[in-house]
Each structure stands twice: as C-alpha cells, then as structure tokens.
C-alpha cells in the first residue's frame, strides 16, 4: 500500500526489513530553532535553581547552547543532575513546533499513512559529559509501554548537535524489530532507573554505530534493540526522541496527552498549539486530565 509522504520506495523497504532508516539533514537550523529556544528556556530554569541553591556562582547565560549545561554541571554530582530528570517532557511551545514539522510528518506518513497521532512519550535528551544519565543501556522502546495496545509506534530520534562516537551516538542491532519484546530489568548502577536488557541478548550480535549530523533523523521501530554510549566530550549531546502512530491505535493517556498531528480525513480536528498547551488531543476536543 502506498501512503504518499516523502520517503522513497527504497527507504521504505529498508525500514521494513532493517527496522530503521536515516534521513540525512532532514531539518535545517531554522527548523530546529524553536526547539533550541525551548531547551534554552529549560536550562535557564535549571541554572536559576542551581544558583538559588548555592550549586553554582554564575548562570553562564552568555555561554553557547552546546556548552552551557555541561559547564553548569561540571564538578557537580550525578544526583545534582538527576534532580531535574534523565530526560525532559515539558510542554514548551518549541517542542510542539518540532513535533508538527511537515518534514517529519511527511516521513512518518510514508510508513503509516496520513492519519497520524503524536504519541505522548516524547523526550528531550541532554546527554551531559560525565553524568550517569548520559549512557543509555540496551533496550527496546516498547518495554516502556508494555501495557499499551499500540503497534506500530515509530520513534524519530533527532540530534541538535552532531552525534559522534566521542559524545555518545546511538548504537543499534538491525533487524531486531522482528522479535518480541524481551524481558527487561531496571538497571541499578546509575540511579537513572533505565530499563536494560541482559548482556546475553546482545552478545555476538551485529552492532551498528550511527554518528549523525545535527538535523538528521533516525526513524526506527519501537521493538528495535538500541543503546547509546557515555558522553566523553566537553559539550552536551542534545537530542530529542519523538514518537508517532496511526490514530486508530491506543493513545496511551496513562503516559501523557498526545495529539492529532495530521489527518486527511478530518483536517479540522488537527491539534493547534493552543490545543496542545491545554492538553487537548485534537482541536475542539476535550481537555484530558492525566490518570492519578
């Protein structure tokens, strides 16, 4: 079945067989600008809190985006960083702008069609040098929502600075999306509570390392085995992971409030920025309260 969208037939075939697809330089600096501004707002809040608690003497407001958070946490502990979470899911306008970007939705449409729901499990990832939360163990994304009746869920991972071997790029095992979700354990060595697979699952497998330039996008199936290594550079490896699924799948309200991102059948229901701010799944729809 052809859904339209921006991917070539070869890219679709590769995604279906290998479980992932890289779109080099999908987004421009202008496309990423609103997201960077949202991240900067968050860093401003963290810097102010660190200053108020005597953890830093300067909020480093003039430092470049790439370095500021790394320098704020230089000399501080893992616990100091994890106070703010291993990943962020704030409702700051710039994140909605990115999640609604037509270039991203065009790519997703090629895989699932034009009825697209933006999954509530999106994350902003500041991989800070020498911080435990920077290393993510082997896992499958679907292990984080085993209770959800959703398939497929497509993860789109986008670096906002170049992802390199030094600062901890993604590693994956091609083709593993065809296997069932493997039993995961909560790792206990870092304090992050990441889910992790036992070494026996990945031992001897063909591991692919994926350096990527800022603005490129990695699309992958939520069953694909992947991980990322620690950041040994002098800067933050900023990234976001966004997720999309067909609108007839479980919207996962137990994990947050997603939104209708595109619809050929009901374009009038596509959520606006104001709907997203008010936690509405679609335009004019009900405001949902998160389950307690």
Pairing, β 154-159 against β 237-246:
antiparallel
Is 249 within a domain? yes
Cβ(115)–Cβ(4) below 8 Å: no
Is 199 within a domain? yes
pLDDT at 292: 47
Is 74 within a domain? no
pLDDT tens-digit map of 15-73: 999 999 999 999 999 999 999 999 999 999 999 999 999 999 999 999 999 999 999 99
Total Cβ atoms within 10 A of residue 164? 17
DSSP-assigned letter for residue 182: P
Is 215 within a domain? yes
Structural domains of the chain, count: 1
Alpha carbons 233 and 94: distance in angstroms, whole number: 26
pLDDT tens-digit map of 111-128: 999 999 999 999 999 999
Mean pLDDT for 81-99 is 94
pLDDT at 291: 47
Is 79 within a domain? no
pLDDT at 188: 66
Question: Which residues, other chains included, contact 229 with Cβ-Cβ below 8 Å and sequence gap of 6+?
Answer: 135, 165, 168, 169, 171
Which structural domain, as residue segments, surrounds residue 235?
Answer: 9-32+89-277
135 pLDDT higher than 90: no
Is the omega angle on the peptide bond into residue 152 within 30 degrees of 0, that is, cis?
yes
Q: What is the mean pLDDT of the chain?
A: 92
DSSP-assigned letter for residue 99: H
Tell me the CATH number at 222.
2.60.120.620
pLDDT tens-digit map of 156-177: 999 999 999 999 999 999 999 9
Is 70 within a domain? no
Is 151 within a domain? yes
Is 1 within a domain? no
Tell me the CA distances in angstroms from 291 to 171, 174, 224, 256, one per residue in order.
34, 36, 29, 9
């Amino acid at each position: 079945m052809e859904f339209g969208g921006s991917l070539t037939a070869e890219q679709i075939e590769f995604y279906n067989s290998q479980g992932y697809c890289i779109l080099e330089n999908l987004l421009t600096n202008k496309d990423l600008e609103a997201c960077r501004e949202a991240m900067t707002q968050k860093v401003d809040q963290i810097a102010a809190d660190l200053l108020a608690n005597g953890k830093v003497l300067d909020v480093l407001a003039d430092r470049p985006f790439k370095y500021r958070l790394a320098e704020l946490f230089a000399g501080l502990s893992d616990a100091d960083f994890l106070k703010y979470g291993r990943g962020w899911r704030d409702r700051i306008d710039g994140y909605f702008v990115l999640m609604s970007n037509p270039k991203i939705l065009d790519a997703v449409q090629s895989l699932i069609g034009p009825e697209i729901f933006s999954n509530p499990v999106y994350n902003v990832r500041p991989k800070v040098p020498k911080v435990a939360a920077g290393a993510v163990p082997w896992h499958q994304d679907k292990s984080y929502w085993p209770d959800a009746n959703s398939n497929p869920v497509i993860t789109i991972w986008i670096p906002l600075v170049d992802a390199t071997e030094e600062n901890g790029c993604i590693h994956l095992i091609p083709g593993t999306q065809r296997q069932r979700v493997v039993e995961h354990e909560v790792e206990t060595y870092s304090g992050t509570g990441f889910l992790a697979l036992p070494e026996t699952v990945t031992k001897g497998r063909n591991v692919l390392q994926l350096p990527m330039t800022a603005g490129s996008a990695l699309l992958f199936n939520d069953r694909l085995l992947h991980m990322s290594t620690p950041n040994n550079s002098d800067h933050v490896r900023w990234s976001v992971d966004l997720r999309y699924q067909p609108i007839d799948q479980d919207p996962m309200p137990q994990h947050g409030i997603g939104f209708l991102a595109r619809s050929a059948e009901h374009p009038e229901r596509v959520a606006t920025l104001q709907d997203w701010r008010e936690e509405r799944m679609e335009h004019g729809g009900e405001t949902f309260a998160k389950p307690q």
